[in-house]
Amino acid sequence: MSNLGRLNSILLVDDDEASNFLHSIFINKLDLDVEINSALNGQEALDFILGKGQSELELPCMVMLDLRMPIMDGWQFMKSYEELVPKKLKEQITIVLVTISDNQEDKDRAVTNEFIADFSQKPLSDDTFKQLIQKHFSLATT
Comparing C-alpha atoms, which of 141, 26, 118, 135 is closest to residue 64? 118
Distance between CA atoms of 119 and 107, rounded to whole angstroms? 7
pLDDT of residue 58: 77
* End-to-end alpha carbon distance in the chain: 24
pLDDT of residue 101: 79
Count helices and strands in the chain by DSSP H and E runs: 6, 5
Mean pLDDT of residues grouped by 10 in the chain (142 residues)? 70 95 93 92 96 75 95 97 95 93 88 94 89 82 42
Distance between CA atoms of 90 and 138, rounded to whole angstroms? 18
On the CB side of 68, CA atoms within 13 Å amount to 10
pLDDT of residue 6: 75
Distance between CA atoms of 68 and 81, rounded to whole angstroms? 16
Residue 64 forms beta bridges with which residues?
12, 96
Residue 10 forms beta bridges with which residues?
36, 62
**Between 3.40.50.2300, 3.40.50.1970, 3.40.1190.20, 3.50.50.60, what CATH number should domain 9-136 receive?**
3.40.50.2300
Question: How is the chain split into domains, by residue range?
Answer: 9-136
pLDDT of residue 141: 43
